Amino acid sequence: MHTFTLHQPLIALLTACALTFSGAAVAADTPEPPAPATVKQPAPRVVHKERITLAREAIQAQDWKGAIAVLTEAVQVHPGNPELHNLLGYAYRKQAKPDLPRAFENYRLALRFDSEHRGANEYIGEAYLMDNNPAKAEEHLVKLLSICGNTTCEEYQDLARAIAQYKAKNK
């Protein structure tokens, strides 16, 4: 004969609770859970180097809108990349109708992420000349001299030439 103890109902109750919470015990009228929805994977993004290549090809072809489109997407993925901001500023500046505010914004971002970025220092200097501010352009020429250590780097020479042409034109 089996004697009933007070612990047996408690053990039975705890076992039932454990099975219920673990999902092992399900009521007969509980519907099957729906199958997980197939999640559509986003199209793979073009990798960083491919974006730079596409942007440079568009710039080479003077397809400023194409370059801006590629670079705008690229800076959303890599917002702290100075080269992307530099190229985006360049594309905005080189359009038939230059967008200097956006060019300056991107050059400043490039320089915030890398204050010694040669291209950004050259290009923002050229943008300052377009904005009739040769003094600011000369500040970036001095910065390039400091970065390059001499006057032979291409960015220094290009900006120095642009400043000389600006001054000759605006005597």
Q: What is the pLDDT along the chain (171 residues), one digit of tens a residue?
A: 444 444 455 444 444 444 444 444 444 344 444 444 444 444 444 557 888 899 999 999 999 999 999 999 999 999 999 999 999 999 999 999 999 999 999 999 999 999 999 999 999 999 999 999 999 999 999 999 999 999 999 999 999 999 999 999 998
DSSP class of residue 153 equals S
* 127 within 8 A of 103, measured Cβ to Cβ: yes
DSSP class of residue 141 equals H
Q: Name the token pair of 5.
A: 């103890």
Distance CA 128, CA 137 (A): 5
